[in-house]
Amino acid sequence: MPSHLRLSLVAVLTAASMFASQPTFAQSGDAKPGDKPAATATDAAKEAQRQVEEFTEASRQISGPAGNPECVWLGRRVVGLMWRDDMDTAFRHLDLYDRFGCPGGHIQSAFRCVVRQGYIDPKSPQSVNARVHSCWLNPSAQPVAAASPPPATSAPAPTPGVAAAPATNAAPAGTATK
């Protein structure tokens, strides 16, 4: 075999072995593989149990098809997506909601309840989900006073009995204008 072919073969094999060993460098030694799957499995089990309880609660409180698990699941998603202004996805979910024979009037009532209650902190998705869930269970819920947005910064209110100075474009007295 000519020497230039032998040298090329050695270069290719060296490069291949370097790339093949790269994944071992990417792994960190401080991760404990046994801890993460157990915690994730526990969290998933808790989440599944919470959902089962929510569906059971909804079927007890809501008579008719709006209390069926599939209607609760899809309906709450539609209302949440509408609140987040994701109308395209909301309409796709609404098509499924209708296909399962779920009542469209319950979506309207629940969304009206969510909107009527006002501001929801956008940084806390759990608060959105909690409001949607409570409005799904009781669409005629009255607005809560604590659910108002933080006060907007505006000009200070005038002090009673003190007249505000009129705004003028005139130069101060004693100065010349050009």
Q: What is the DSSP string of 108-124?
A: HHHHHHHHHT----TT-
Angle between helices 104-116 and 87-99 (to 10 degrees): 140
Does residue 112 lie in a domain region? yes
User: What is d(CA 65, CA 59) in angstroms, rounded to the nearest whole number?
Assistant: 9
Does residue 73 lie in a domain region? yes
Structural domain harbouring 110: 53-142
Residue pLDDT, tens place only, 12-47: 555 555 555 555 545 555 555 555 566 688 888 888
Longest dimension (CA), the chain: 105
User: What is d(CA 59, CA 51) in angstroms, rounded to the nearest whole number?
Assistant: 12
Does residue 154 lie in a domain region? no
pLDDT of residue 128: 87
Percent of the chain with pLDDT over 90: 33
pLDDT of residue 46: 84
User: What is d(CA 63, CA 60) in angstroms, rounded to the nearest whole number?
Assistant: 7
Tokens of 45: 């089990």
Residue pLDDT, tens place only, 105-148: 999 999 999 999 888 887 777 788 889 999 999 998 877 654 44
Does residue 7 lie in a domain region? no
